[in-house]
Amino acid sequence: MPRSIEQIHRESSDSAALRGLIGVLNDKLQLRARYALLEYEAGMEGRREWSELYRIMTRLESDQITRLSAALASEPEFENPRPLADLQGSPDR
């Protein structure tokens, strides 16, 4: 199962740049989710131009999310993740 943003953040707490990238990715994911609702609401109000604007903004956010995700995936620590046993920890800790 893929790791969550929180897991990546916890495991990479020594890199401010990586934390920043993860934070931006998280913000963009939340913003893109809001755009869908805003697009719907604009459409329901008959504001077709605004609805189209939200659709365009969604595509732009999606492109940026793809680029951020690719940057995170290219991190050496993500290309060679630790074994699952290391993430779960041992019961005697």
| Rounded CA separation 45/86 (Å) | 52
Predicted pLDDT at 7: 75
Predicted pLDDT at 9: 66
pTM of the prediction? 0.64
Question: Is residue 59's pLDDT more than 70?
Answer: yes
Mean pLDDT of 36-62: 97
